[in-house]
Structure 1
């Protein structure tokens, strides 16, 4: 059995690596063509071809994370179909490789792909993606989202704060920061407007160019509004650099731990976290789709292929992989709009394809 596993694993790994390299080369070419246009637009700021190449190279881990389950499906289908066409799988079956043993062998290989996908998506892709965005921001402007930037909220025993950060510079500093302080009854107590702010080491922001406005307490005898111009100001808070980056960057560019911590921060401050919860559960379930893909590919070993049959099988694998990718994105948007359970929204595409895989396995393998 070890010899059979070594044969199957070697062929599948080689095929998956070849498919992955082909897909990554294609995406690298498309990304580079797009960045060449950016070189012309931002040439005055010093953006050169070498920077474009660096940016495109840093985007490779993100593409690899998204493409790996599809590459596993296509590569495994190719190997299983080739084994069936050359009658190698028939010989393996007569040597004692039953359906359940074949399924168990592929599931063990799929677990390896699950671990690889999780490691890439959690430890390699987020820092590379963030470095790519900071590299681009160095020459094309600061990182921002929307027209007003990112909004965050912090609750305390005596009130709450609403914080607006317009953008983040490549060096990690924030620009055009506004802080609105409310009392326990929801009335505005004070505002801070700072030209820039830095993250301190003692749970505080060091602000520069600050305009502070204090409003009178509700029911006070005087209606005087105090205004002050401050060269610097220290504002203690619990909003970390990771939280600001999470609000400015897309959720899929965050690791699982960062997403979990940011969700807890949003929930603790009574903010909606549906979008981030869906992305968190997608981070959990997406690597497991590699197991679904190897199960879906196994029935191809039990089909009878004529000349050109492998090409049709590979094409079917490409279509199945693309449909899974599209379905995964569509369910993410639908779950966010329809307020579905986040874990169900993330798991449903994999459950649908798992049902199709088991149906194909039962019909084409066990019934024969």
Structure 2
């Protein structure tokens, strides 16, 4: 039994890795073609576009992981079925449940390897790619760590605590330095929003250092300025959920809720971090009925094709559920779990019919 389990696990893992590689290559090609439209903005050329898509590919690869597991397990186990190896395995007393257990053990091993990759490597690489794109398109020096942003614009150094959707900023500090390296102006604002071709700052403290022995401090409820950061640069700096680790994402969701801001997009991404690995296990369970079903009829290729369509359908249904949930204000947990629960029910129903 140990040898049979090892053999089945190796087949599932090997097939899944091959499928993931092929899906990743295809996804990178489409991502690069989509990025061509940005080529020519500032110093953003083909080389930068290639690097940007390579940096952001690990994040997309992680989202393709469940689909790759389904397709890979269908192909690998289907190959065993085509060579009557599954029949031989059943003949020595291995039940359908035993095959499912071996496949799930392989899935758990893949999840253990994929989780650090998806939670740390992917977000960190995506941040590096975004920083590369920002610097190339805007021509400004930008440093980003989590939600904190430092930008340089001439003699001004700008720090932003959070960049929120809708061209809103929270916790802005602007420091203007003289040519000899002295601080000339320090400006702090609780929040800012862009509109009518200018930034409107709120709760502003402005400190002017014209005289080395005296500082002029001014408190303002609001302040309008056209020169903070360009809207184009803001759009590039907008905090994306996929660029944040799970702890950072949880902290950011809490921050948005405490400030009565819309956190649905980030909360949805938070729950998706849990549903993605679980989806891989559900896809493995869903693959078994297709494989054993192909043994009982001559339509093995047709059944495998249907299984591949189901995997791609799950990917798009998951995205559709997320978008519908955001538009209609559904609970993020429900939006993230609905496709998973539906396919889990289908897989359990199909497995029960095999017994």
Instruction: Please indicate the TM-score interval, normalised by the length of the shorter structure.
Output: 0.7 to 0.9
Match of 2:170 among 152, 156, 167: 152
1:180 match: 202
- Alpha-carbon distance in 2 for matches of 1:327, 1:62: 19
Q: Does 1:60 align with 2:57?
A: yes
Higher alpha-carbon deviation: 84-93 or 335-344: 335-344
TM-score when scaled to structure 2? 0.73
Q: Are the counterparts in 2 of residues 192 and 213 from structure 1 also a CA contact under 8 Å?
A: yes
Residue 274, structure 1, aligned to residue 271, structure 2: no
SS at match of 1:259: helix
1:12 CA drift (Å)? 1.7
Query: Residues 114-146 of structure 1, C-alpha deviation per residue, up to 9 Å, x if partnerless?
Result: 223322221111111111111111111279989
Q: Deviations over 1:251-303 (max 9, x none)?
A: 23322111100111122223332222122111121211011011001112322
Q: Is the 8 A contact 1:246 1:262 kept in 2?
A: no
* Post-superposition offset of 1:13: 1.9
Distance 1:75 1:93 in 2: 21
* Aligned residues of 1:78 and 1:310 also touching (Cα < 8 A): no
Q: C-alpha separation between the residues in 2 aligned to 1:148 and 1:357?
A: 41
- State yes or no: 1:32 paired with 2:32: yes
Please list, as runs of the form range in 1=range in 2, the aligned pairs for 1:307-346 lying within 5 A after superposition: 309-346=299-336
Gaps of 5+ in 1: 155-160, 167-175, 182-190, 195-209, 216-224, 228-243
How big is the alpha-carbon RMSD for the aligned residues of Structure 1 and Structure 2?
3.4
- Following TM superposition, by how much is the alpha carbon of 1:110 offset from its aligned partner in structure 2, in angstroms? 1.4
Other structure's SS at 1:303 match: helix
Q: Is the 2:130–2:236 Cα contact (8 Å) retained in structure 1? A: no
Structure 1 equivalent of residue 136 of structure 2? 139
* Structure 1 residue corresponding to 2:125, chosen from 106, 115, 128: 128
Segments of structure 2 that go 5 or more residues without pairing to the other structure are 143-161, 173-188, 208-215, 224-233
Correspondence 1:284 to 2:277: no
- Contact 1:76-1:294 at 8 Å conserved across structures: yes
Using the size of structure 1 for normalisation, the TM-score is 0.71
Within a 5 Å distance, the mapping from 1:1-368 to structure 2 comes to 1-36=1-36, 38-39=38-39, 41-42=40-41, 45-141=42-138, 149-152=167-170, 162-164=190-192, 179-181=201-203, 191-192=204-205, 212-214=218-220, 248-305=238-295, 309-363=299-353, 365-366=354-355
What SS class does the counterpart of residue 170 from structure 2 fall into?
A: strand
- Counterpart contact for 1:16–1:71, Cα < 8 Å: yes
Q: Deviations along 1:88-107, whole A, 9 cap, x unmatched?
A: 10100111211221111111
Distance of 1:211 and 1:267 partners within structure 2? 32
Looking at structure 1, the residues matched to 49 and 265 of structure 2 have their Cα atoms a distance apart, in angstroms, of 31
Moved more, 58-67 or 334-343: 334-343
Match of residue 241 from structure 1 = none
Question: For 1:201-226, what per-residue CA distance to the aligned partner results, in whole angstroms no more than 9, with x for missing partners?
Answer: xxxxxxxxx995536xxxxxxxxx9x
Contact 2:32-2:53 within 8 A present in 1 as well:
yes
Distance 2:269 2:123 in 1: 13
